[in-house]
Amino acid sequence: MQNRRKFLKYTALIASASIAQPLVSFSVPMPLLKEKPIFPAALKRGDKVIIVSPAGAVYDLTKIEEFSRILSNFGFVVERAKSASNRLGYLAGSDEERADDINNAFADNSIKGIVCTRGGWGCARILDRLDYKLIAENPKVIMGFSDITSLLLAINAKTKLVTFHGPVGLSSWDPFSTLCFTNTVFLGERNVFPFGVEDKMIALTPGIAQGELIGGNLTVFNSLIGTDYLPNCDNKILFLEELNEDPYKIDRMLTQLKLAGVLDKLSGFVFGACTKCESEDPLQSFSLLDVVKHHILPLNIPAIFNAPFGHTTKKWTIPIGVMAELDTYNLKLELQQGAVSV
């Protein structure tokens, strides 16, 4: 009877995704870690956190004030980096200034967490200026998304420090996003991803996969291919999201991942709730879901579409470099270990 209920639940998921595929279930085994991740200390009330702008400039400085109040409401002592409110063209200060802010934040033992104001563009310009030995020796929480993806991935690739794909200062900090942040970064909960809030989240491929989490913004992720700043993707669960890109652009970027050999080595795949990524003329375009199916279904790995993270109001805080299990029967992504040391 229990198997019958699971089968009915599974078939309902597949029907909702409009998948015309053989109903074959499988499980991808958990790989052995070659290197142990470095876990930052859990944040707690009274900790000092610093606001940084490693990428684009913040043009409305009241947003930094609002962000400071949000962080203060968590009980943090809030500090601002020197260039957090700077402007140099579309950047928040020079490359040297922004890199110095990151290096100095890791070097300062009184600072326990590093949070970003926004994405935009600019993080990749400072990757070769960061002191990765210093970062590895002084692990602490660093969080952001969008263009911050390159910073999070580079730090993880060079140091094995767990980094966090989560809200920035210009994000919405609604109750859902706040709960995910608190569970992940304060409590170190293993299962930090609430479900049931996104009715459109669907299973693309049935099964259960295990692997380290890796991912972020699709455009930024792709820009690191061929560099030393992209972590190894073998046997990983890849999560990707995007904003304001037509389906043909998503197709182009997923094709690049395929040709680079990234997709073929994954254990699981999660695509986020993308914003403004549908064509203005659907009669002359594939849908976003069509494009994702074209690339992901042939992989025969467990996959979910339209999960709540990235450029959307409700956001998971996803730790990069932590072992997780993706269960597409139950639309469930569960950490196999806490993302912070408590």
Dist. CA 238–CA 162, nearest whole Å:
15
Q: What is the DSSP letter of 43?
A: P
Identify whether 91 is part of a domain.
yes
Give the bridge partners for 334, in sequence order: 325
| C-alpha–C-alpha distance, residues 284 and 263, integer Å | 27
In three-state secondary structure terms, 261 is coil
24 found inside a domain? yes
pLDDT, one tens digit for every residue, the chain (342 residues): 444 444 344 334 333 433 333 333 444 444 444 579 999 999 999 999 999 999 999 999 999 999 999 999 999 999 999 999 999 999 999 999 999 999 999 999 999 999 999 999 999 999 999 999 999 999 999 999 999 999 999 999 999 999 999 999 988 899 989 999 999 999 887 755 655 455 578 999 999 999 999 999 999 999 999 999 999 999 999 999 988 678 889 999 999 999 999 999 999 999 987 776 566 666 667 898 999 999 999 999 999 998 988 888 888 999 999 999 999 998 889 999 999 998
Q: Name the catalytic one among 53, 68, 85, 146.
A: 146
**Residue from 68, 245, 311, 325 carrying the catalytic annotation:** 311
Q: Which residues touch 215 (CB under 8 Å, ≥6 apart)? A: 149, 165, 221, 238, 239, 240, 270, 318, 320
Do 196 and 323 belong together in one domain? Answer: yes
165 is catalytic: no
- What is the number of structural domains in the chain? 2
Select which of 241, 242, 245, 325 is catalytic. 241
Asked whether residue 181 is domain-assigned, the answer is no
> Is 41 contained in some domain?
no
How many other C-beta atoms lie within 10 A of the C-beta of residue 89?
9
Same domain, 163 and 251: no
Domain boundary among 171, 203, 227: 171
Structural domain containing residue 246 = 2-30+190-335
Is 64 a domain residue? yes
- Catalytic, 18? Answer no
- What's the CA angle centered on 264, arms 258 and 270, to 5 degrees? 85
Cβ–Cβ under 8 Å, residues 193 and 333? yes
Does 176 fall in a domain? Answer: no
Find where tokens 């999660």 sit: 270
Give the residue carrying structure tokens 């910073």: 151
40 domain-assigned: no
Whether 341 is covered by a domain: the verdict is no
pTM of full prediction above 0.85: yes
Residue 96 is a catalytic residue: no
Domain end marker among 139, 171, 203: 171
Domain CATH for 77: 3.40.50.10740
CATH number of the domain where residue 293 is located: 3.50.30.60
Same domain, 113 and 222: no
Dihedral of CA 272/309/166/238: which sign? negative
Q: In angstroms, rounded to a whole number, what is the distance separating the alpha carbons of residues 101 and 144?
A: 15
Q: Are residues 288 and 321 in the same domain?
A: yes
